Amino acid sequence: MEFKDKVAIVTGAARGIGAATAWAFARRGAISVIVDINGEGAKKVAADIQAAGLDAIAYTVDVSNKQAVDEMVKDVFEKYGHIDILVNNAYISGGYAIVTETSQETWDKVIAVNLTGYFNCAKAVAKKMIPQKSGKIVNISSGAGINGSLSSGVQYPASKAGIIGLTKGLAGDLAPFGINVNCITPGLIRTWAPEEMAKQATGWTLEKVARYIEVEVPLKRVGEPEDIAETVVFLSSEAASYIVGEVINVDGGGMLDSVAKRESLLGF
């Protein structure tokens, strides 16, 4: 049990990739700290983990609220005496609109949650990890932060690209204290049923989701939340102790050139 009694804070863990990550740590003996703005969802994930005889605790926190983040981190530290892992994962997309129709409010809110929220959590946790001279921070970005995204406007890719820069800055700052900071850029992950996935962006249908996966993902399957969770666990483990400031695509090869893409685009 490599993570026995390690304290792992996972934001946005009331569902999806965050919940899968909280489970992955708890199964390995960690205390999973489930942080989410959706308090009921967070409590349910924590209760399910506890019902399996594993360790978890839930906090209702809006990560864009610095004071709420600081209070959560203070409380966790007072309870357990150490904080070993932070997984910054909570996000909102803001939906799709062409830039000329994107409101200032949408832009501000998405940057506040997706980027400032990660900064708030990393800053509060770093204050505890630096004196410990150990810690792991994994930031969940997105392939959209590298390639943009036709289905989520300008605010989401901008926030996700910012997370890559934040990772590099944090990694350089914190490595001298024995703290590893890295980043994951997921591709398309099945965080909900394909029917709902089809609804998430304008113009998408079930058939288009299937076709997208066929053409865009060389592995020809949608990613599962566990694909991301297991990469987070690896980056948080001693096996990854010499990895610092890296950005790892977990996307089934989605950024590669491929025969399917050529056939679809060029007919050969």
Ligand X SMILES: NC(=O)c1ccc[n+]([C@@H]2O[C@H](COP(=O)([O-])OP(=O)(O)OC[C@H]3O[C@@H](n4cnc5c(N)ncnc54)[C@H](O)[C@@H]3O)[C@@H](O)[C@H]2O)c1
Residues binding ligand X (CB under 6 A): 11-12, 14-18, 36-38, 41, 61-64, 89-92, 113, 117, 140, 142, 186, 188-189, 191
**Minimum CB–partner distance for residue 151 and ligand X (Å):** 10
Nearest residue (CB) to ligand X, 1 versus 193: 193
**Minimum CB–partner distance for residue 251 and ligand X (Å):** 8
**Minimum CB–partner distance for residue 192 and ligand X (Å):** 7
**Minimum CB–partner distance for residue 133 and ligand X (Å):** 28
Nearest residue (CB) to ligand X, 11 versus 180: 11
Chain residue at closest Cβ approach to ligand X: 16
Nearest residue (CB) to ligand X, 139 versus 180: 139
State the DSSP string of the chain. Answer: -TTTT-EEEEETTTSHHHHHHHHHHHHTT-EEEEEES-HHHHHHHHHHHHHTT-EEEEEE--TT-HHHHHHHHHHHHHHHS---EEEE----------GGG--HHHHHHHHIIIIIHHHHHHHHHHHHHHHHT-EEEEEE--THHHH--TTSTTHHHHHHHHHHHHHHHHHHHHGGGTEEEEEEEE-SB-SS-HHHHHHSSTT--HHHHHHHHHHH-TT-SPBPHHHHHHHHHHHTSGGGTT--S-EEEESTTTTS--HHHHHHHH--
Burial profile 116-129: b = 16 or more Cβ within 10 angstroms, e = fewer? bbbbbbbebbbebb
Nearest residue (CB) to ligand X, 142 versus 231: 142
Of the candidates 59, 91, 96, 156, the residue annotated as catalytic is 156
**Minimum CB–partner distance for residue 11 and ligand X (Å):** 6
Nearest residue (CB) to ligand X, 113 versus 171: 113
**Minimum CB–partner distance for residue 150 and ligand X (Å):** 14
Annotation marks residue 118 as catalytic: no
- Cβ 229 vs Cβ 23: under 8 Å: yes
Burial profile 228-237: b = 16 or more Cβ within 10 angstroms, e = fewer? bbebbbebbb
d(CA 38, CA 46): 12
The set of catalytic residues is: 156
